[in-house]
Structure 1
Amino acid sequence: MEELERIQRRILERIAHLEFQLSLSSPSDDDDAANDATAERLSAILRVNGVNDFSFKVVPSDYYDRPLEARRHLLSAPSIHHLCKSIVLVNTQAQSHVIDCNNRNNSKFYVAVVQYTARFNAEMVKNYLYSLNEGKVPKKKFNLRLAPEELSNNLTGFGHNAVTCIGMKTDIPVILDEAIAKLSPDFFWLGGGEVYLKMGIRTSEFIQFVKPFVFSCSTA
């Protein structure tokens, strides 16, 4: 009888341990509600703007602790190169009258979408914007840096690890790294507006809707 009770205690302890581990790796009910609401809002924006080939997936809370190959598997992405992120940039040397995003060719802020497997190159962005403005703006007036988290949150409405360039609070010009546009198949993954929510989208439809600047802004 004592042996049976001991076995039962072990089983109960094991169940409790597994439940605890599950609570660490799974979003809470509040997270689920936020994921659903955000996915619905962004889906509506995409459909209204002619984007039909997209998908949302909820990932475990330890997603960013996992290697890229594990993340790729969770999203069923074709390769780790299809895993991308949106980073908010601020031009710290912009001309004094450049304080917002009214002029997309010479904006105070940009959002760059780059692959996790690539290294963002701010110098390439500087050179592109200088050429885009036909030399009318001195090159020294372009100095793109990662925006502080609070500023990024205020501009986009999305927190750390949740930033996406769909449905932002501010209409920030978007830069799409050329390497993403060349991916095959042309369907990539990026943040979905919540930490545990990721969005996959057909590249051609993304470009048609967002109308990003497409050029090389990273190195391998």
Structure 2
Amino acid sequence: MAALADLEAKQSQILDRIAQLESRLTSASLSSSDGSGETTAESTETRLSVILLARGVSDFAWKRVPSDYYDQSLEYRRQILAASRIEQLCKTIVMYMARLNAESIKNFLYALNDKKVPKKRFNMRLAPEDESLKLTGFIHNAVTCIGMRTDIPVIIDEAITKLEEDYFWLGGGDVDLKLGMKTSQFLTAFRPFVVKCS
């Protein structure tokens, strides 16, 4: 009986939290437009929080960073986010610290397609900014894999999943907004492909 009461209490807390986020989302959407069609970081934060909670991610944090964040060193960025190590800082799905190993990703995609598509057909390159915006809904330096416009497969570097700390930081949907979360919860909620790509 006590277990049932505990479960009901937790369910009530979750439903209250969702109601609060929905309320914030509604009020943010009513007041977030600046006339340009873009929304503020607050409404982005609220929208993405609702997605995270709906997917079972409960341990996450938002951090606003200075406008010159990307002009600073990785060590400065680590300190701003209070991350334990630079390796916890991610740029969408590609780690800052290591070079992208496109060959490893090609091999992964080749195997994923049962070797039916020749490797030479995979041309790994960054999408132009306008194409990235169209696919993700986020501008340059604000792209996050949470709440994208289109269902794009997510690849996470295996090295991130092996960090001693079960936590990493990525873009938060706005240039000056960063999102930190437990790696284990991210893996469960978003089921990214884990690939050794650095």
Could you tell me how far apart the structure 1 residues matched to 2:54 and 2:115 are?
A: 37
Deviation at 1:125, TM superposition (A): 0.7
Structure 2 match to 1:129? 109
Residue identity matched to 2:142: A
Give the superposition deviation at 1:134. 2.0
1:114 Cα shift? Answer: 2.0
| Matched residue, 1:39 | 45
Which of the pair has more CA radius of gyration? 1
Task: Say whether 1:176 aligns with 2:182.
Answer: no
Whether 2:76 is the aligned partner of 1:70: answer yes
Letter paired with 1:192: G
Deviation at 1:201, TM superposition (A): 0.9
The structure 2 residue matched to 1:195, chosen from 175, 180, 185, is: 175
Paired letter, 2:51: I
Correspondences of 1:209-220 after superposition (within 5 Å): 209-218=189-198
Partner SS, residue 40 of structure 2: helix
Shift of 1:127: 0.8
Residue 104 (structure 1) aligns with? none
TM-score (norm 1): 0.71
Deviates further, 33-42 or 122-131? 33-42
C-alpha distance in structure 1 between counterparts of 2:81 and 2:109, whole Å: 34
Q: Distance in 1 between matches of 2:163 and 2:44?
A: 27
Q: Secondary structure at the match of 2:179?
A: strand
Give the Cα–Cα distance (whole angstroms) in 1 for the partners of residues 194 and 94 of structure 2.
Answer: 11
* Secondary structure, counterpart of 1:146 in structure 2: coil
Letter in 2 for 1:162: A
1:217 CA displacement:
1.0
Match of 1:11 in 2: none
Within 2, Cα distance between the matches of 1:49 and 1:131?
28
Taking the aligned partners of 1:154 and 1:131, their CA distance within structure 2 comes to 28
In 2, the alpha carbon distance for the partners of 1:151 and 1:114 equals 18
Q: Give the share of equivalent positions with the same residue, in percent.
A: 61
State the match for 1:119 in structure 2. Answer: 99
8 Å contact 1:114–1:180 — kept in the other structure?
no
* Superposition misfits of 4+ residues, deviation over 2 angstroms: none
Deviation at 1:63, TM superposition (A): 0.6
Residues in 2 aligned to 1:114 and 1:147: alpha-carbon distance in whole angstroms: 14
**Other structure's SS at 1:190 match:** strand
Amino acid at match of 2:129: E
CA contact (8 A) 1:63 1:71 kept: yes
The equivalences for 1:26-105 within 5 A come to 34-86=40-92
RMSD between aligned residues: 1.1
The offset of 1:136, in angstroms, is 1.4
What letter corresponds to residue 179 of structure 1 in structure 2?
Answer: A
For 1:124, what is the secondary structure of its paired residue? helix
- Once structures 1 and 2 are overlaid, which stretch shifts more, 193-202 or 142-151? 142-151
Quote the offset at 1:34 in angstroms: 1.1
**1:173-218 deviation line (CA, Å, top 9, x unaligned):** 0000000111121100010000000000110110111111101012
